[in-house]
Amino acid sequence: MPRHFGAWIRYGTTITPDQLAFAIDHYAVAILQPWETAAAAALKTARPDMTVLCYKCLASTRSYERGPVFSSGVCFGEAEENGEHWFAHRASGGRIEWDGYPGHWQMAVWDPEYRQRWTENVVDELGGSPFDGVFADNDVFDDYYGLAPPLEGDHDMASIRTSLGTLVDDAGAALRQGGKLLVPNIAESRREPGRWTAHAAYGGGMEEMWLGYAPDRFFDPLTALAQMAQLRGPGLSIMRVPTDGTPDHPNVQYALAALWIFGGGGEATLSATAHDEYSGIPFVPELDWDLGAPEEEARQRGNGWTRRFTLGWAAVNLNDNPRRRISYEVPSGLRDRHGEPAPKRIALKPHHGALFHADPEPAGH
């Protein structure tokens, strides 16, 4: 069965039949809303090798959702019925609605009852489900939603991080007993040694801001290199690089080249989307390319890196300075996405990458 390296992050508007058919042909991983069980079943029937996850938020409940299936582990009504202590509150006593996300309410992730109910609900929901497991969003590191700690009870971001780690451990172990995965969206794991390995231990992890915060806000070379260990597991490694939403954005090739050079063709997958745009089919032909096995370790020249594989070659320039272009000789016998012979030499701008495939013409062309 051909290998695929694309991740379909698809928890936006309703999935169309054409999108579903395309996903079957091209993706290794799919993340859907938990009520998209028919789509999940269709994917697993056609592609048993595809990992299909359902979205669940670890840290919020959404007051606008009517159910009966919810994107949170604890729905708004259930939280209200079980007591105000399941909601997080500001020091002044009011509930906390997330900045920029109306109807998203911060939960008291430090409350053991909340964590237990989150785990029980999600495990029960996935029993007998076509989903392989859960994509657990908002395993946050910092204050991204205007929480402005300290909160009621003197809770700060450190206590929130610790509590989320406990929830990941509890839910991950319980899901594993039922044969299901837990794959958290592990924010900024590079800032805490061991965080990625610990939180990805139950099926894998996702890095939502890989190589940068936005299409034009890149990480410096040292920060980018600190993320590369995420490509090697444990479990699934789902990398999302920020772009403007178009497939020809240079960040796509930049991220794909880095994925191959530092991941070596392992279990890592890539998605490239604009901010909060999870309704489309982000794809380039290179996501279906299998460059084969590494023939060498990654080669470094300054902040540029290359690697040769049995079926191709990749190069990436991690430099920040716009004047730091790097020129490379391209190995012979390779082709580009159009099936044309690769150039003999390329000059990569900072934050750019290149991949070429060996003859015959690349899969996916």
Residue 247 placed within a domain: yes
Residue 270 placed within a domain: yes
Q: Which of 61, 72, 183 is nearest to 121 (CA)?
A: 72
Name the pLDDT band for 360 (thresholds 50, 70, 90).
Answer: low
Residue 132 placed within a domain: yes
Same-domain check for residues 228 and 182? yes
Spell out the alpha helix ranges (H) of 178-201: 195-199
Same-domain check for residues 228 and 274? yes
Cβ pair 38, 15 in contact under 8 A: no
**Please, is 359 exposed, middle or buried when counting C-beta atoms within 10 Å of its C-beta (0-12, 13-18, 19+)?**
exposed
**Euclidean distance between CA atoms 283 and 9, whole angstroms:** 11
Query: Mean pLDDT over residues 39-47, rounded?
Result: 98
Q: Give me the residues paired with residue 204 across strands.
A: 236
Residue 21 placed within a domain: yes
Same-domain check for residues 10 and 95? yes
Residues in the chain: 365
304 pLDDT more than 80 = yes
Same-domain check for residues 196 and 72? yes
| pLDDT score of 365 | 47
DSSP secondary structure string, 309-323? ETTEEEEEE---STT
Same-domain check for residues 300 and 319? yes
Cβ pair 89, 169 in contact under 8 A: no
Same-domain check for residues 70 and 131? yes
Q: Position 318: which residue type?
A: L
Residue 308 placed within a domain: yes
Residue 232 placed within a domain: yes
Cβ pair 110, 163 in contact under 8 A: yes
Same-domain check for residues 216 and 236? yes
Residue 313: Cβ within 10 Å count: 24
| pLDDT score of 219 | 97
339 pLDDT more than 70 = yes
| pLDDT score of 315 | 98
Q: Could you give the dihedral angle defined by the CA atoms of residues 173, 175, 181 and 185, in that order, rounded to the nearest 10 degrees? A: -70
The pairing of beta strand 236-242 with beta strand 268-273 = parallel
Write the DSSP symbol of residue 275: T
Q: What is the pLDDT of residues 62-115, one digit of tens each?
A: 999 999 999 999 999 999 999 999 999 999 999 999 999 999 999 999 999 999
264 φ/ψ sector (left φ>0, alpha ψ -120 to 50, else beta): left
Same-domain check for residues 281 and 293? no
Q: Which of 183, 192, 134, 129 is nearest to 158 (CA)?
A: 192
Q: Extract long-range pairs of 330-337: CB within 8 Å, 24+ residues apart.
A: 330/356, 331/356, 333/358, 333/359, 334/358, 334/359, 335/359, 335/361, 335/362, 337/284, 337/285, 337/286, 337/362, 337/365
Residue 76, token pair as written in the block: 């708004």
| pLDDT score of 1 | 72
Structural domains counted in the chain: 2
Q: Give me the residues paired with residue 87 across strands.
A: 107
The SS3 assignment for 162 reads: helix
363 pLDDT more than 60 = no
Q: What is the pLDDT of residues 242-285, one digit of tens each?
A: 999 999 999 999 999 999 999 998 889 999 999 999 999 999 99
Residue 1 placed within a domain: no
> What is the enclosing helix (H) or strand (E) of 7?
strand 6-10
Phi, psi of 122 (to 5 degrees): -70, -40
Q: Give me the residues paired with residue 306 across strands.
A: 299, 315
Same-domain check for residues 120 and 256? yes
Same-domain check for residues 55 and 155? yes
- The pLDDT mean for the chain works out to 95
| Range of the structural domain that residue 301 is part of | 289-365
- Crossing angle, helix 112-126 and helix 157-177, to 10 degrees? 30
Domain boundary among 268, 288, 308: 288
Cβ pair 12, 278 in contact under 8 A: yes
- Domain CATH code at residue 107: 3.20.20.70
**Euclidean distance between CA atoms 261 and 209, whole angstroms:** 18
Same-domain check for residues 94 and 198? yes
Query: pTM for this structure?
Result: 0.95
| pLDDT score of 359 | 73
16 pLDDT more than 60 = yes
Same-domain check for residues 197 and 303? no
Domain boundary among 235, 269, 288: 288
> What is the enclosing helix (H) or strand (E) of 186?
strand 181-186
| pLDDT score of 362 | 44
194 pLDDT more than 70 = yes
Domain boundary among 250, 273, 288: 288
- Domain CATH code at residue 317: 2.60.40
